[in-house]
Structure 1
Amino acid sequence: MEKVIVVCEAGITTSLLVKKLNDLAQEKGQEVDIQSKSLEEGLDYIKEHNVDVVLLGPQIHHIAKKYEASTDAKVAKITVEDYNTMNVYSIFEQVSEA
């Protein structure tokens, strides 16, 4: 099972996005565990768990190098447009490309 975390400043605004991504994964019949984490929570999480993909919300793109240095997982940035429109199809593609 692929493990993905979606990280934003506080971890709150991504909860709906994560639900929609999990629903899409289920609809596609893919086994993916997608969770929402806050900025600091995410850094701790990737040190303790194997994660395949880290998706960063637009408000924390500037911290990407810190995440890249802390994990072997693919670190991808969700575009402002995809994030604001909750374009789960486009965001899910980033997960699938990992």
Structure 2
Amino acid sequence: MKHILLVCNAGMSTSMLVTKMLKAAEARNVEATIWAVPVSEVADEVANKNIDAILVGPQVRFMLKEYKENYEPGIKVADINMVDYGTMNGDNVLKTALDLIGG
């Protein structure tokens, strides 16, 4: 089971991306838990949940360095490609996460 956390500003568009990623995971026969939270909830999520990867949305990319410093190497951290985010390409974003965590 892969545990993938998406970080966003408010959560509206990112929740749509989560839905598309879950469909992509199902199509690839990948067992995954994928969810999105705003920046303000990341520390609580990391403290209380098993997370393999954190993907940072373009609107909060400024947090990428901080998350890498605080959570790697235990949790893999990367940003979401802006084009993939803008087009809601759940398959590409899922591939990014899987490549990141080796799955």
> Normalising to structure 1: TM-score of the pair?
0.91
Contact 2:20–2:89 (CA under 8 A) maintained in structure 1: no
More displaced, 61-70 or 76-85? 61-70
Question: 1:79/1:42 Cα in 2 relative to 1: closer, same or farther (>3 Å)?
Answer: same
Q: State the SS of the aligned residue for 1:86.
A: coil
State how many pairs are aligned.
98
Contact 1:47–1:70 (CA under 8 A) maintained in structure 2: no
Q: Which runs of 5 or more residues in structure 1 are unaligned?
A: none
Cα shift at 1:14: 0.6
User: C-alpha root-mean-square deviation of aligned residues, in Å?
Assistant: 1.2
Runs (4+) of structure 1 exceeding 6 A deviation are: none
- Match 1:79 to one of 78, 81, 84: 81
Give the equivalent residue in structure 1 for 2:63: 63
In structure 2, how many angstroms separate the alpha carbons of the residues matched to 1:23 and 1:87?
Answer: 11
Cα shift at 1:88: 1.6
Question: 1:47/1:66 Cα in 2 relative to 1: closer, same or farther (>3 Å)?
Answer: farther
Q: State the SS of the aligned residue for 1:13.
A: helix
Contact 1:82–1:91 (CA under 8 A) maintained in structure 2: yes
Give the equivalent residue in structure 2 for 1:35: 35
In structure 2, how many angstroms separate the alpha carbons of the residues matched to 1:32 and 1:73?
Answer: 15
More displaced, 23-32 or 62-71? 62-71
